[in-house]
Structure 1
Amino acid sequence: MIPTWVAVVTGLSLAILALAAIVIAAASVVAALGLRAFLRVLNELAGPAVGDVRALVAAIRTEAEGLAGTSRELRQRIVNAADAAEARLAELDAVFEVVQEEVEATVLDVAATMRTVRRGISLLEWGRRTLKRGKKP
């Protein structure tokens, strides 16, 4: 049979274990109530801040959308300006080609006229020399 002192020690240790479990349970309840109170205070303090942050995020979102719209409009204006400049450059290139052709034609006409004038002058000089030779006899 088991000695009595073993039963007494076992009973005492069992009582101590039960008391420790009760203390742990009570501490857990107190901690849970403290955590609940802390969360309530935190919610009261952070509630307005969260509302402000939400309003700030909404304002930032609105500004970002406006900026994106402005960027889109600006980009479209730049593209339109580039297209207009390209069209004007094409027209200017066509004008320069026509002017170049006209200048080349004019230069050729001037050269032909100069050649004709030189021939005419040389014919006049030839005629004058011929006439001078004929008067000497």
Structure 2
Amino acid sequence: MGWVLLCTMLSVGCASSTGIRSDQNTDESNDAAVEALFEGKIDGLEFGSGDHNLTNASRKVLATLVENLKAHPEVIVALGGHTDNRGSAAANLELSKRRVMAVVKYLVVNGIDGRRLQPYGYGESRPIVSNATPDGRQMNRRIEMSIVKP
């Protein structure tokens, strides 16, 4: 599951049947395309149990994110680190912070202004699936992002 680069829509202002250009619809389409790039779980970015180090595969995923952030310098993102429920809640909170900071470090080293990144660690407090299986635990070890609205 690699980071899927979604197509960004071009701002071309199509003529309607009345011949009036609809910039509002184009702006809304562009906003939706940008939102699709920067909302939700970062697919393909995975962590081993108890680990915060980035794998080569994760670096490739983040390289695409760097490209997208450079293409949209107006975007500020919140990044949330999450863990499974193995270990203590306190240890998982700390691990989630280390994971999100590993992502932030990669982005900054690769040219993204750190002021555009708002990291948060949530530990095990926000699972997206049950932690009862290895697959479920892997899914809960994740980084999510969302656009910070002014």
TM bracket (short chain): under 0.3
Pick 1 or 2: higher relative contact order, CA cutoff 8 A, min separation 6. Answer: 2
Q: Flag the structure with larger Rg.
A: 1
Normalised TM-score (structure 2)? 0.19
Normalised TM-score (structure 1)? 0.20
The structure carrying a bigger strand percent of its residues is 2
The structure carrying a bigger helix percent of its residues is 1
